[in-house]
Amino acid sequence: MDLLINGKHVDVGDALRAHVEEMLNGAVSKYFDRPLDGIVTFSREGVNFPVDISVHAARGVLMQGSATAANAYAAFDGTLVKIAKRLRRHKRRLRDRHKGDHAEEAVAAPEPEFAPGDEDYEQPVAGKPAVIAEPPTDITTLAVSEAVMRVELADATALMFSNRAHGVLNVIYRRPDGNIGWIDPGGEPAAGD
């Protein structure tokens, strides 16, 4: 697996780099034979070390996670636990799926970062939220269970997809209570409607 380990305002030493390579390669290769690549970013915020991990475990399978701790090793290990849990759930769902088709695996695109000076950035007006342009995204045809799996894998807040059952656009989103919401305007009306 191609692994990029970098630090923002943090010097990533050889010992930490070796720890990251060994642990991340071990965790990902446990579930995927040939993982593609990964990015681990260490940063510093006061006395804490936030760590972000993004791993392409297979074509179209993106795992993302982050954690913060008082030292870089603990922050990385906490993030790795989240990634390993998502990998394990993903493999279990793939194994337990009763369908014979193996749809293309993908996840929601990460949110872009815009800064002042970018053409898509608009200066916020006092009292009004800024409107941020999102990059173009492909809308894939998925079953609802596949869409839920992709939202969880990417730790995304929402995913729009074309419902495989009837071809209408649907949205899966993470509710504030932690559950998953599903908007299906083309579904069958509920009983009593």
Query: Global pTM?
Result: 0.55
Residue 149 near residue 107 (C-beta atoms within 8 A):
no
Q: Is the pLDDT of residue 68 over 60?
A: yes
The residue ranking higher by pLDDT, 129 or 85, is: 85
pLDDT confidence bin for 124, thresholds 50/70/90: low
Domains and CATH numbers, the chain: 2-96 (3.30.160.100), 103-193 (3.30.505.50)
pLDDT band at 111 (very low <50, low <70, confident <90, very high): very low
Q: What is the average pLDDT value for the chain, to the nearest integer?
A: 79
- Structural contact between residues 137 and 109, judged by C-beta atoms closer than 8 angstroms: yes
**Chain segment 133-181, per-residue pLDDT in tens:** 677 778 889 999 889 888 888 888 899 999 998 889 999 998 888 889 9
192: left (phi over 0), alpha (psi -120 to 50) or beta: left
What's residue 32's pLDDT? Answer: 80
What residues form DSSP beta bridges with 67? 51
Three-state secondary-structure class, residue 16:
helix
Whole-number percent of the chain with pLDDT over 70: 77
Own/partner contacts of 102-106, CB < 8 Å, gap of 24 or more, are 103/141, 103/142, 103/143, 103/146, 103/164, 104/60, 104/140, 105/58, 105/59, 105/60, 105/61, 105/150, 106/60, 106/61, 106/62, 106/138, 106/140, 106/150
Residue 96, pLDDT > 80, answer no
> What pLDDT is recorded for position 133?
65
